[in-house]
Amino acid sequence: MTTPQATPQKLSFPKGGDFFAEIRHEVDLYLASRRTATLGRVQLYVKSFVAFGLLIGSWSTLIFVRPGVVGGLLCLAGLMLGAILVGFCVQHDANHGAYFRSRRLNHLMGWTADSLLGFSSYAWRIKHNVAHHTYTNVDGYDDDIDLTPIARFMPTQRSHWWHRLQHIYVWPLYSLMVLRWQTGGDVTALIKGRVANTRMRAPRQWDLLGLIGGKLVFISWAIVAPLFVYPWWVVLAGYIVFSMGTSLVTATTFQLAHCVEEADFTTAEQVQEGDRSWGVHEVETTVDFCPRNVVLTWMLGGLNYQIEHHLFPRVPHTHYPRIAEIVRRSAAKHGVRYTAQPSLRAALGSHQRHLRTLGRMGRPVEIEMG
Ligand SMILES: [Zn+2]
């Protein structure tokens, strides 16, 4: 949902600043090594192989072997893990243009979002790459941080009495996010022609074919084919678990990076009146978590290194741990606030406290009269 604004304002950040220029120079030097660049891509391709293997292997076993209840649940878990890996480690990199050098091949690999995950990669590239990545945590511009009036994620959003319980009821809502996009949320945004304050052009030619074809492929493997093998209620239950599980992991990962106590929130007016450059804005509105957890880093496609991802979305995520050292050093030198939560527990705790605080803020203060 978006904050209604009569006239969308064109928003740009003040240019210049040594902070990001220095980081970019160091990262360019790091990536200039052919060996380093190749190694990063090879790691990315190996990971994709595992993701596709898990997804295809689990689905084929479910459909052709029919492994019984326990085996079926294990396959469903494999299917969910495969989908999460495709979402974080394949389509995300590809739709940012980080997977291949060619734009066309990136779009083709990004189409795994349509065909394997059920949402439009065309709509994603506008919602995620433009609205979220350019205007991170800017009220009315970043659609990812806007669930008004149901929940309040930023201090500038209007407060309602039900927000007092938002730290409890947001969790089931997070698990519906992907389902909403799979069942037409992406098409609705395209029909409306905008996401937050970013314009969405209607897809044409290959983009339109990709959208329609992707929906058909997804419905065929996720719903139609299973209906030939299992009763409708088993397919329905399996689909709901698959969609809600993957959605909860996806939404939580994004929220822990931007919707926490340590992240900055701002408005379009503050961006234009202030002198904070885009690079500094991205670092101060974003938080890393569990940087030393190798398993989590591998599974989340480096999205626990969201600061580095926001500064270098077109660089394969396998390079983020090394880039983080450069960013951290430079942030300390330039006095830019750089936050890395040490554990998943700390990140989740910060998100919960942020939701609680915003749920209470703006409520009338009860004064006890003696
Ligand atoms: Zn991204």
- The residue ranges of every structural domain in the chain are 18-360
Q: Do 124 and 111 contact (CB within 8 A), yes or no?
A: no
Which residues fall within 8 angstroms of residue 115, CB to CB, at 6 or more apart? 213, 214, 217, 218
User: In 3-state terms, what secondary structure has residue 288?
Assistant: strand
Ligand 1 center to 41 CA (angstroms):
17
Per-residue pLDDT averaged across 234-254, rounded?
94
Ligand 1 center to 299 CA (angstroms):
15
Ligand 1 center to 92 CA (angstroms):
6
Is 220's pLDDT higher than 90? yes
Per-residue pLDDT band for 24 (boundaries 50, 70, 90) equals: very high
Q: Flag whether the pTM goes above 0.85.
A: yes
85 vs 89: CA distance, rounded Å: 5
pLDDT one-digit tens code per residue, 37-90: 999 999 999 999 999 999 999 999 999 999 989 999 999 999 999 999 999 999
pLDDT given for residue 2 in this prediction? 39
pLDDT one-digit tens code per residue, 183-212: 877 778 778 777 766 777 888 888 889 999
292 vs 308: CA distance, rounded Å: 15
Ligand 1 center to 87 CA (angstroms):
11
Per-residue pLDDT averaged across 7-11, rounded?
59
Ligand 1 center to 317 CA (angstroms):
10
Ligand 1 center to 80 CA (angstroms):
20
CA distances from 70 to 122, 160, 212, 354 (A): 37, 45, 35, 39
Per-residue pLDDT band for 272 (boundaries 50, 70, 90) equals: confident
What radius of gyration, in Å, describes the C-alpha atoms of the chain?
21
Ligand 1 center to 231 CA (angstroms):
38
Ligand 1 center to 93 CA (angstroms):
8
279 vs 302: CA distance, rounded Å: 19
Ligand 1 center to 303 CA (angstroms):
8
Average pLDDT, the chain: 89
Ligand 1 center to 63 CA (angstroms):
33
pLDDT given for residue 351 in this prediction? 96
Ligand 1 center to 91 CA (angstroms):
10
Ligand 1 center to 306 CA (angstroms):
8
Per-residue pLDDT band for 9 (boundaries 50, 70, 90) equals: low
Ligand 1 center to 124 CA (angstroms):
10
Ligand 1 center to 133 CA (angstroms):
7
Per-residue pLDDT averaged across 348-355, rounded?
96
What DSSP character marks residue 138?
B
